[in-house]
């Protein structure tokens, strides 16, 4: 139920407005002057305030300048006070209503003002949610570390991101190739456009062309409607082809044509569609060796490998483990709602002795396991027992 405050020195107007608005289902409180109304607004939360312009002790303009509220304030003005009421709007009042009061007009204005406030609140909540999500995404898309190897990757990202150059990201599984791709997109001129990710290894070979280029209704069994592919979905943004080394030769040929012509053809169609996409690719395979075996097209490799970025394995940057552990600990404790924990120096040294075949992904899993199973300060013994 919306709550309304009426401030007016005329008892008849206060009582009439209170009666009419309460009849419409609003909760109404009244004050006989601006000073009392200000005190009430400081103690209570209102959805709408009506304030007379001319009042003793504190008039409507003085009230408007003193009040701290996010709810609409509507001024009630006599015939000679209209100029003052208009001036009040310039100072932040939502609107004004003239005496004698037109109750139908007043009720409509009340409804509009309260709906406006609720829409503003919803928009603010949505904005806060979006900003929160952006902060969470940004927190996940960080390259943690100060080793020479990771600084080199960061430097390449900074130099390349603002260009349209295609980038081939290589490295073992779990090293953070996806993070590199997202940072390239976030720092690019396409950051406000979509970033579409495709895991080429996770899509069956018979569906990969439809997934990338889309299809027309009836073009194959199960194609019940027209569907845009990933190239079209990424138009104006970035397309990230992860595990590009697992793409079939037939699909490779179509990707090559899309890169050459900046256009695609949906499965089952003879019509081409122009696309404006920056393509990033990643693989854990040795593509030159795959080319020698006949598994990967050399011309496609050269199209994609304009800027090569190699993401180092964790065993190549063991000096970054303390920073990574600190970062993951803060992140995981926050996600799990666990009191903040620390790793002893001996525990960190023990972690630096490991091989980390699963790289960053494996390290994060181990840190999470230790946080859940260990005490406030994680020791060398606990690392040996649980890692």
> Phi, psi at residue 97, to the nearest 5°?
-130, 140
Confidence of residue 134 (pLDDT cuts 50, 70, 90): low
- Least confident window among 88-97, 170-179, 306-315, 347-356: 88-97
The arithmetic mean of pLDDT across residues 329-342, rounded, is: 92
**Residue 136 pLDDT > 70:** no
pLDDT digits (tens, 9 = 90+) for 166-223: 999 999 999 999 999 999 999 999 999 999 999 999 988 888 989 999 999 888 877 8
pTM value > 0.75: no
**Residue 231 pLDDT > 90:** yes
- Residue 9 and residue 56 in contact, taking contact as beta carbons nearer than 8 Å: yes
Confidence of residue 141 (pLDDT cuts 50, 70, 90): low
How deeply is 49 buried, as exposed, middle or buried, from its count of CB atoms within 10 A (0-12, 13-18, 19+)?
Answer: buried
Write the DSSP string, 108-167: HHHHHHHHHHHHHHHHHHHHHHHHHHHHHHHHHS-----SHHHHHHHHHHHHHTTS---E
The predicted pLDDT at position 80 comes to 64
Residues 6 or more apart from 192 whose CB is under 8 A from it?
A: none
Q: Which residues pair with 240 in a beta bridge?
A: 197, 280
The encoded tokens of residue 75 equal 């001024």
The Cα 59–Cα 81 span in angstroms is 12
The predicted pLDDT at position 77 comes to 83
Least Cα distance to 111 among 74, 60, 76 occurs for: 74
pLDDT digits (tens, 9 = 90+) for 51-73: 998 888 888 888 888 888 888 99
């Amino acid at each position: 139920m919306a709550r309304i405050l009426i401030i007016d020195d005329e008892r008849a107007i206060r009582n009439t407005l209170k009666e009419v608005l309460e009849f419409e289902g609003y909760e109404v409180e009244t004050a006989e002057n601006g000073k009392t109304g200000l005190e009430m607004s400081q103690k209570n939360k209102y959805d709408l305030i009506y304030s007379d312009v001319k009042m003793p002790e504190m008039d409507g303009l003085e009230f408007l300048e003193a009040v701290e509220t996010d709810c609409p304030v509507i001024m009630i003005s006599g015939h000679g006070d209209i100029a003052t009421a208009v001036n009040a709007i310039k100072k932040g009042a939502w609107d004004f209503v003239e005496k004698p009061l037109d109750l139908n007009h007043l009720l409509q204005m009340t409804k509009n003002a309260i709906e406006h406030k609720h829409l503003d609140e919803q928009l603010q909540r949505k904005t806060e949610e979006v900003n929160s999500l952006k902060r969470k995404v940004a927190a996940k898309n960080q390259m943690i570390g100060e080793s020479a190897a990771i600084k080199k990757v960061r430097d390449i990202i900074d130099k390349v991101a603002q260009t349209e150059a295609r980038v081939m990201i290589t490295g073992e599984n779990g090293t953070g190739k996806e993070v590199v791709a997202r940072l390239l997109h976030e720092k690019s001129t396409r950051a406000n456009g979509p970033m579409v990710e495709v895991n080429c290894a996770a899509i069956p070979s018979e569906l990969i062309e439809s997934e990338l280029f889309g299809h027309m209704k009836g073009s194959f069994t199960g194609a019940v409607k027209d569907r845009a592919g990933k190239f079209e979905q990424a138009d104006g943004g970035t397309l990230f082809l992860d595990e590009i080394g697992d793409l079939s030769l037939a699909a490779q040929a179509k990707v090559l044509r899309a890169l050459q012509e900046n256009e695609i053809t949906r499965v089952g169609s003879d019509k081409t569609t122009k696309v404006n996409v920056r393509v990033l690719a990643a693989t854990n395979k040795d593509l030159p060796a795959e080319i020698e075996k006949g598994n990967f097209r050399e011309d496609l490799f050269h199209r994609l490998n304009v800027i090569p970025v190699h993401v180092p394995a964790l065993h190549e940057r063991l000096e970054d483990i303390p920073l990574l552990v600190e970062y993951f600990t803060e992140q995981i404790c926050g996600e799990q709602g666990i009191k903040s924990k620390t790793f002893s120096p001996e525990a960190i040294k023990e972690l630096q002795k490991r091989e980390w075949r699963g790289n960053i992904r494996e390290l994060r899993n181990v840190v999470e396991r230790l946080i859940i199973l260990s005490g406030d300060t994680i020791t060398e013994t606990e690392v040996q027992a649980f890692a």
